[in-house]
């Protein structure tokens, strides 16, 4: 079990959240080449270390947000605090 620091609800069991995976900037659909779309849709860095990723708090505040987690140790770094708009997608 993983305790995920939701910025609105505090630490929650990861089963309460949906894991959104690596967070990457979406290319501009008007100008992106097919290869850029390929990269955005499918390719992942998948590092063994610090990773910026998205989470959805599905049984709590029902908000998407980004967190930094170390994929080798499952530690979270500098999670956003309640009321902190940084990283919030909604």
Partner 1 sequence: MRGIARGMRRRPPKYSAAALAWKGLRGDPWPRVWRDTELKRSYDAVVVGGGVHGLATAYYLARNHGITDVAVLDKAYLGSGASGRNTAIVRANYLTPEGVAFYDRSLQLYNSMATDLNINVMFSERGHLTLAHSDAALRTMNWRAEVNKLQGVDSSVVGPDEIKEVAPSLDTSDHPRYPIQGALYHPPGGIVRHDAVVWGYARAADHMGVEMHQKTEVLDILCEGGDGPEGRGAGGRVTGVRTNRGDISTPFVVNCTAGWASLISAMAGVRLPITTHPLQAAVTEPVKVFLPTVVVSGSLHVYISQTDRGELVFGAAVDPVATYSIRGSLDFTEELAGHVLELMPSVSRMRLLRQWSGLCDMTPDYSPVMGFTPVDGFLVDVGWGTYGFKAAPVSGEQMAAAVATGNTPELIAPFALSRFDTGELVGEKGAAAVGH
Return residues touching partner 1 (CB under 8 A). 1-2, 13-15, 19, 21-22, 34-35, 38-39, 41-48, 51, 53, 71-74
CA distance 80 to 90: 14
CA distance 57 to 9: 9
Least gap, CB of 86 to partner 1 (angstroms): 22
Tell me the Ramachandran region of residue 37: left when phi exceeds 0, alpha when psi lies from -120 to 50, beta otherwise: alpha
**Pick 7 or 17: Cβ nearer partner 1:** 17
Least gap, CB of 80 to partner 1 (angstroms): 18
């Amino acid at each position: 079990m993983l305790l995920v620091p939701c910025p609105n609800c505090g630490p929650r069991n990861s089963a309460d959240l949906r894991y959104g995976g690596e967070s990457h900037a979406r290319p501009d659909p008007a100008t992106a080449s097919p290869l850029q779309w390929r990269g955005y849709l499918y390719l992942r860095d998948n590092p063994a270390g610090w990773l910026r990723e998205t989470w959805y708090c599905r049984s709590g505040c029902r908000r998407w947000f980004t967190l930094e987690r170390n994929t080798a140790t499952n530690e979270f770094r500098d999670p956003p605090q309640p009321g902190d708009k940084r990283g919030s997608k909604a």
